[in-house]
Structure 1
Amino acid sequence: MHTSRYALALSGLLMTGAAFGQVAPPATGTAPEPAAPAPPPAVPTPTKSAPYGPGMKINLSPDGSKYLRFLTWAQMWAQYNENNSNTIRNGNPRSDQTTFGIRRARLIMLAQLNPRFLTYIDLGIENQTALSGGLPNDPNGTGKRSPNYIHEAVAEYKVNKYLSVGGGLNYQVGVSRMTAASTATMMTYDIPVTNFPTLDQTDQFGFFLGFYGHGRIGGFDYRVAIDDAFATNTAGNSLQLTTANPTGLRTNVAQFNPRNTNKIYQGYFSYSFFEKEANLLPFTTGTYLGTKKVFNVGAGFHYNAEGTYSRDQDYVINPGTHTHDIKLFGVDAFYDAPIDTTSNTALTLYAVYYNYDFGPNYVRNAGLLNPGSSVAVGSTGPSNLYGNALPLIGTGHSYYAQAGLLLPKKLLGPKARLQPYVAYLRNEWEGLHDTSGNRKSVNVYDAGLNLLLDGHNAKVTLNYRARPDFSDQTFIPANNGAATVNSVQYRPEVTLQLQVYL
């Protein structure tokens, strides 16, 4: 029995194996086409580079609330300049010249490790040419080794959403919007300089040492500050001019007071009617190139008690001086908005009025990247009106306006843009009179064109300036301290600027 069972089981297994092992006969007809090969994986398209609007940012936390930011820009100039009368360069008289220079090279490092705490440092150089801008005592020449120095060094604490307070070497300044101008986003090739009334006198190249508060309440922005007055270098004090004055002294002419120890109080207040502007940093934008619709009006002030002094008119007989308070005020308006969103055209307008009081007959002459070095021997005018210098700051009134138009985006292709602009500056200083005894106005005309290769990040600017030559002056004691401007000639000035801003 057992043997029969094993035989039956073995027979069943063999039959099952035979059934599974059978192969089906091949189908009749044509064989099917082979399957098409799978396509290769697509190569990913490289991502576009991120814009540099906020600068180069290194996140220190996953959400980006803790970060380091770096902003840097450089502006290089090539300039043709017809010089003021009696200008010399390296001991040789020069009527005109073409020069090269570094207008600015700057780096800002900003850190925020907590939403309430902020610190930043701004360093760099300005105004280096082959003639000047370097170390003043360099035995190899004053144009070499331009010193890299700190412009700003600030620590700031955010009290609440309406107020932040800070201190250090800061740019929270008064008088006007343009007094805190961002030099990397200017529409014109440069600032008018009149917007920096105490430049390198009681400030350090437009920056002040003190404490400040700033913030925004609705559409109202404000900044106020209390600062120390930097000690004034009196080496070039114009009170010690001139041979045209029989006494050898200028009287009834204000100059910065070397004994000034009083605080500087300043502030600026503005109201935004449309979009609000960023106010984390103090720099104000010159033109948004159609990316914002902004209309702001503002007013500011700057006060420094006994900031200047002057000699009495009868100084030789009764030696004595008077101190004067520095009182500066400004009102301005800024409009920047798209005209047509399809063509991406935009209009930029800015206007400001300044009322400056430095004391009697104060006038300061200055020139941007001045290509001259002195005046010829025998000149009767001021010794600092060489090259491209003109009366830019003083006691009196000043008016400045600029207008620019961003042309359609398809004019030069998808990337490059054109932005023509014009600007006008009019200064009416009480220390400058014509031969009839009336105030002699200083009028400066600018017209230029921006070639925007990548917005403000890469642009080329060509500017033409008609500049008044005020070097034909005399000082007569009977004029009560004012200079007599005998004649004014207009000199051409052409500047080509290359800017890269990252």
Structure 2
Amino acid sequence: MRNIKFLTLFLVVMLMASSAFAFKPIEVSEGKYLKFFYEGQFGLTMRNTGSGDGNEDDTSDFNFRRNRFGFIGTYNDRLSFYVQTEYIDDKSVNALTVKDSLTDDENFYVLDAQIRYVHNNAFKVTLGKFKHNLTRENLEGCFTPLNFDRSLFVAAPFKTSRDYGVTVFGNLASDYLQYRFDVMEGRESGGEGDSRYVPNSGFRYTGRVHFTMFDKETGYGYQGSYLGEKKVLTVGASYQYEADVAYKDAVNRSDEVDYNAYSLDFFTEMPTSAGTFTLSAAYLNIDLDDLDEGANPDTALTDDVANGIFNGNAGQREGYYVKAGYMLPMEIGPGKLQFFGRYDSFEYATLNGYKDNTVDFYAFGANYYLAGNDIKIVGQYSITDFEDEVGADTNRQDFDTFEMFLQVRF
């Protein structure tokens, strides 16, 4: 109760301060502009495991979920650049685990660094570090989701969200159709004798198309909700491939496997006089040619219980999610209120030391928008349920999580 009271007071103070500030574009020279921005999510995470005797007691953690500063520059109407940095402290409560101890690590790194060229609406190029195109969920903005955050189970192996490379994309047929194709680093390999040695240091390739109607989605990124400002219907499909990504027998460096993944997705948002209704769903299949069945499979993508290694959550799996939202048509106090819920179900080749283990994720909550996505409060309660769980390890048992965060963007 003390934690929630403190958080509520913090939110009120931040709201009063944040509404008074905003970064304005700076004209560097004629036709050339530079704009700085800050985006942050700070709040409370509470889980019903991770502390006390046998790690069976509740754990609470104040943290920055995201803490970003960056800038956008335009050279002319065709050429621009985008840079975004992240500064994050070590967290005790993570997506699927609670850390036994914190290291006070502080990580500052470049999250995005892009050069963007627009030839016309049908042909655009981005070079540098940016999001790959495997799933719509990954491409939805971190600060414009429907629910608390994107799915915990759709990250690609190794380069989970962003990578270095080049992408071309564009809109065709009066913007009804969008295509994308990217070539990116994928899994990186060390030299002979390096523990990161893999069969091939080739590139990872991704293709994506979508068909969109009404207020069409034409940009590189998507939103999880347009807050009733757009009527949208989009269906999409993606495919990702990388050759010789791992060994089934890593000890003898034999029996290479390829990485293949594909995704199908659907999104619609319909504003009506009774409120705004949002529905989104996707299916994802990540195939590593049954890597876990090998004699000594690469443990970067599988579990090795004997040596205390649990990386199956990064490996082969298939599953789906469904999420829905409803925004009230009227304001509640100074803002708009949106309710949401989601369900994820994914079967892993190995997870928590078990073969063909399924995890189900249930979540519901609400967004309270005081200035659209620039200032909002979000709260979510979720249940994570494993089909097979490890009895002595609370990090591999079912758990419940409550999260409440303030989001600000300048």
TM-score (normalizing by structure 2): 0.79
The structure-2 alpha-carbon separation of the partners of 1:381 and 1:460, relative to structure 1 and needing over 3 Å to count, comes to: farther
Deviations 1:317-374 (A, max 9, x none): xx5531111101001011112121xx6x2111110001110232559999xxxxxxxx
Q: Which residue does 2:329 correspond to in 1?
A: 408
Q: Which residue does 1:246 correspond to in 2?
A: none
Aligned match of 1:347 in 241, 258, 277? 277
Q: CA deviation at 1:100?
A: 1.5
Q: How does 1:203-352 map to 2 (within 5 A)?
A: 203=159, 206-217=161-172, 218=174, 219-231=176-188, 258-279=198-219, 282-311=220-249, 319=252, 321-340=254-273, 345-352=275-282
The structure-2 alpha-carbon separation of the partners of 1:491 and 1:129, relative to structure 1 and needing over 3 Å to count, comes to: closer
Q: How does 1:117-132 map to 2 (within 5 A)?
A: 117-126=79-88, 128-129=90-91
Partner AA of 2:152 in structure 1: V
Q: Distance in 2 between matches of 1:466 and 1:181?
A: 23
Indicate if the aligned counterparts of 1:364 and 1:394 stay in contact, CA closer than 8 A: no
Q: CA deviation at 1:259?
A: 4.4
The structure-2 alpha-carbon separation of the partners of 1:399 and 1:104, relative to structure 1 and needing over 3 Å to count, comes to: same
Q: Which residue does 1:372 correspond to in 2?
A: none
- DSSP 3-state at the match of 1:431: strand
Indicate if the aligned counterparts of 2:312 and 2:350 stay in contact, CA closer than 8 A: no
The structure-2 alpha-carbon separation of the partners of 1:157 and 1:100, relative to structure 1 and needing over 3 Å to count, comes to: same
Q: Distance in 2 between matches of 1:391 and 1:187?
A: 28
Q: CA deviation at 1:473?
A: 7.9
Partner AA of 1:210 in structure 2: G
Aligned alpha-carbon RMSD (Å): 3.6
Q: Which residue does 1:182 correspond to in 2?
A: 141
Indicate if the aligned counterparts of 2:186 and 2:202 stay in contact, CA closer than 8 A: yes
Partner AA of 2:45 in structure 1: Q
- DSSP 3-state at the match of 2:216: coil
Q: CA deviation at 1:60?
A: 5.3
Q: CA deviation at 1:187?
A: 1.4
Q: CA deviation at 1:128?
A: 3.4
Indicate if the aligned counterparts of 2:279 and 2:325 stay in contact, CA closer than 8 A: yes
Partner AA of 1:162 in structure 2: A
Indicate if the aligned counterparts of 2:257 and 2:291 stay in contact, CA closer than 8 A: no
Structure 2, unpaired ranges of 5+: 1-18, 95-101, 293-297
Q: Distance in 2 between matches of 1:330 and 1:454?
A: 33
Matched, 1:423 2:342: yes
Q: Distance in 2 between matches of 1:162 and 1:434?
A: 47
Q: Which residue does 1:250 correspond to in 2?
A: none
More strand by share: 2
Aligned match of 1:156 in 105, 116, 130? 116
Partner AA of 1:154 in structure 2: Q
Q: Distance in 2 between matches of 1:306 and 1:493?
A: 38
TM-score (normalizing by structure 1): 0.65
Indicate if the aligned counterparts of 1:409 and 1:417 stay in contact, CA closer than 8 A: yes
Matched, 1:501 2:409: yes
Q: How does 1:75-154 map to 2 (within 5 A)?
A: 75-83=41-49, 93-95=54-56, 96-126=58-88, 128-129=90-91, 142-144=103-105, 146-154=106-114
Deviations 1:227-257 (A, max 9, x none): 12352699xx9xx9xxxxxxxxxxxxxxx86
Partner AA of 2:366 in structure 1: L
The structure-2 alpha-carbon separation of the partners of 1:354 and 1:382, relative to structure 1 and needing over 3 Å to count, comes to: farther
Q: CA deviation at 1:77?
A: 2.8
Matched, 1:465 2:382: yes
Indicate if the aligned counterparts of 2:267 and 2:279 stay in contact, CA closer than 8 A: yes
Partner AA of 2:71 in structure 1: M
Q: CA deviation at 1:57?
A: 3.0
Indicate if the aligned counterparts of 1:309 and 1:359 stay in contact, CA closer than 8 A: no
The structure-2 alpha-carbon separation of the partners of 1:267 and 1:72, relative to structure 1 and needing over 3 Å to count, comes to: farther
Q: Distance in 2 between matches of 1:364 and 1:291?
A: 46
Structure 1, unpaired ranges of 5+: 1-48, 133-140, 241-255, 367-379, 475-484
Q: Which residue does 2:98 correspond to in 1?
A: none
Matched, 1:58 2:19: no
Q: CA deviation at 1:189?
A: 0.8
Deviations 1:413-464 (A, max 9, x none): 3x312111110010022336999x8x44211111111122222111111111
Q: Distance in 2 between matches of 1:449 and 1:155?
A: 36
The structure-2 alpha-carbon separation of the partners of 1:69 and 1:384, relative to structure 1 and needing over 3 Å to count, comes to: farther
The structure-2 alpha-carbon separation of the partners of 1:433 and 1:496, relative to structure 1 and needing over 3 Å to count, comes to: closer
Q: Distance in 2 between matches of 1:459 and 1:94?
A: 33
Task: Return 288-297 or 256-265, whichever deviates more.
Answer: 256-265
The structure-2 alpha-carbon separation of the partners of 1:420 and 1:131, relative to structure 1 and needing over 3 Å to count, comes to: closer
Task: Return 418-427 or 71-80, whichever deviates more.
Answer: 71-80
The structure-2 alpha-carbon separation of the partners of 1:190 and 1:262, relative to structure 1 and needing over 3 Å to count, comes to: same
Partner AA of 1:68 in structure 2: L
Q: CA deviation at 1:170?
A: 2.1
Q: Distance in 1 between matches of 2:205 and 2:226?
A: 30
